[in-house]
A = this chain, B = another copy of it.
């Protein structure tokens, strides 16, 4: 089945959103925790979290100015702080519910029953139910002029994971973390292989 530019343009709006958001495949799923200057907590699911660099550890995510994510962006601009919290099967329904357009005075923690967790050195709130959670400090915000979105770049300053999830080579066991696609579908993951660093094969003798 082939879709060319004409067929893509002819889709209706919701159909094209569903199509477009499925194309990249399975994506990371994180709840982004932020806090406004006035002290209001906010939680929003993001699936655009991407590794940008390892020294320092930089991680990016994409926001659109015209969605529920607007509270997230405004809070980040106000406090330079946010957290990323992996989502597990146990609280996926609550994580999904955080995508609803709550009014500004409503905390998604209170609305969904997820537990707010604070660390004294970090402004933004963590999700206690999340086994893998970390905090970032704002590094830069980059305009993506093609469609008026923004890439928010942060430096990882704090990571909390279960002791048993960490291996001395730096690996974090993410097997309980969910992946997502489109804005509605969630997946558990199962390791099929871990492969050694690839080198070009030696020439056949």
Tell yes or no: A8 within 8 A of B by CB: yes
Known: A144-B151, A192-B178, A193-B186. A24 touches B4 (CB 8 A): no
Contact call B2/A158, Cβ cutoff below 8 A = yes
A185 to B166 alpha-carbon distance, docked (Å): 15
Nearest B residue (CB) for A57:
B20
- Copy number in the complex reads 2
Contact call B59/A8, Cβ cutoff below 8 A = no
Pick the residue among B155, B186, B199 that contacts A194 (CB under 8 A): B186
Residues of B near A191 (CB, < 8 A) are 185-187
Contact call A25/B174, Cβ cutoff below 8 A = yes
Output the least CB separation between A41 and chain B (Å).
16
Interface residues of A in 52-83 (CB under 8 A from B): 52-60, 62, 64
Contact call A161/B1, Cβ cutoff below 8 A = yes
Contact call B92/A193, Cβ cutoff below 8 A = yes
Pick the residue among B2, B57, B153 that contacts A144 (CB under 8 A): B153
Contact call B198/A97, Cβ cutoff below 8 A = yes
Contact call A25/B179, Cβ cutoff below 8 A = yes
Tell yes or no: A159 within 8 A of B by CB: yes
A20 to B163 alpha-carbon distance, docked (Å): 17
A147 to B55 alpha-carbon distance, docked (Å): 9
Q: Which residues of A contact B (CB under 8 A)?
A: 1-5, 8-9, 11, 13-30, 47-60, 62, 64, 84, 86, 89, 92-93, 96-103, 106, 111, 121, 132, 134, 139-140, 142, 144-147, 149, 151, 153, 155-163, 165-166, 168-172, 174, 177-179, 181-201
